[in-house]
Amino acid sequence: MRGRFQATVGETSIEVELIETEGDTCRIAFAGLIHDVRHAFDTDGRLHLDVDGAQAVITNLTMQPAQSRETAAGSGRLTPPMNGRIVAVLAAAGARVTRGQGLIVLESMKMEHT
């Protein structure tokens, strides 16, 4: 099972990518690092992790709908039409762009959207 997850510990939340699982150990990536951790899934689909005695509960965001454009309007955030992985960047940082110009290529479930 691969996917993106939102992990919350206390008041801190981070996004985690589940890379692979083998037995009760999984490999995850977050904050630019890759870790091997023990894991278990509960009946609600949440992932429970144990890394050197520290524990976290993670909720799967893979199939969550993308944030609506109305919610993002005026926030300064760019909101894609779907969740996915950026596979290409079409505009350089700081470049002047026009409305409707492609900025990134986003891949989700083997489909690409510009």
Q: How far apart are CA 70 and CA 109, in angstroms?
A: 25
- pTM value is 0.37
Average pLDDT across the chain, whole number: 76
Report pLDDT digits (tens) over 31-81: 888 888 888 888 888 878 787 678 888 777 666 665 555 555 556 666 666
Looking at residue 97, the DSSP 8-state letter turns out to be: -
> E-strand spans in 54-98?
54-60, 85-89
Average pLDDT over residues 88-105: 85
pLDDT of residue 35: 84
Element at 29 (helix H, strand E): strand 25-30
SS3 of residue 69 by DSSP: helix
Strand 33-41 relative to strand 47-51, pairing = antiparallel
